[in-house]
Structure 1
Amino acid sequence: MNENENTDWRFKVANREALIGCGLALINFIWWFGFAYGMGSKPVEEYSYIFGLPDWFFYSCVVGFLLITALVIFVVTFFFKDVPFDEEEELR
């Protein structure tokens, strides 16, 4: 038997979901970094404000949080599966 035949199917699911989670973390970091350093690197006198917050902070932290929260809910709802943790006699 090769190694793939002995591997529990739940490991494939867990690895796929871990990669999706890493992708979401990377998207979050790129969003945050792009707005925080892209818009936040200009002099303070040139900042625009939204709800009393500098625009770079509002877009990187407030909008970024809402966007990533929505993405995580979407991904968990449509791409993650319930995996039983019980021991199984027969591998799938």
Structure 2
Amino acid sequence: MKKNINQINKEATITVVLYIFYFCWWYYFAYIYKWNNNDFVFGLPSWFFYSCVLGLVVINFLVFIAVKLFFKDIDLD
């Protein structure tokens, strides 16, 4: 049982760290990074592309890697 609790805590910590990273990424590119108003990427404003589109791709890749490397199937009984 103790081993399951340690695994659950590790997975929860990884999940929270990834969420905080994603929020910081999104906030930085949406509000802090200074863009030229005429910058567009694939027809989208640069701030939107980097904060929402690229950020989503990056976090999906990181979550995939985290699940493959650190998450394990455990019996909850």
TM-score by length of 2: 0.89
Structure 1 counterpart of 2:60, one-letter code: T
For 2:38 and 2:45, the matched residues in 1 are separated by: 6
Structure 1: which 4+ aligned runs deviate by more than 4 Å? none
For 2:8 and 2:66, the matched residues in 1 are separated by: 14
Answer with 1 or 2: which has the greater Rg.
1
Correspondence for 1:73 among 64, 67, 70: 64
Identity percentage of aligned residues? 42
For 1:46 and 1:61, the matched residues in 2 are separated by: 17
Aligned pairs, number: 77
Structure 2 counterpart of 1:63, one-letter code: L
* Structure 2: segments with no counterpart, 5+ residues: none
* Structure 1: segments with no counterpart, 5+ residues: 1-6, 87-92
For 1:56 and 1:46, the matched residues in 2 are separated by: 9
Structure 2 counterpart of 1:30, one-letter code: C
- 1:1-92 superposed matches below 5 A: 8-39=2-33, 46-86=37-77
| Residues 32-55 of structure 1 deviation map (CA, whole Å, 9 limit, x = unaligned) | 00100023x66xx72311111100
Q: CA deviation at 1:82?
A: 1.1
| Residues 48-91 of structure 1 deviation map (CA, whole Å, 9 limit, x = unaligned) | 111111001000000000000000000000111111123xxxxx
Could you say which structure has the higher helix fraction?
2
Q: CA deviation at 1:22?
A: 0.2
SS at match of 1:84: coil
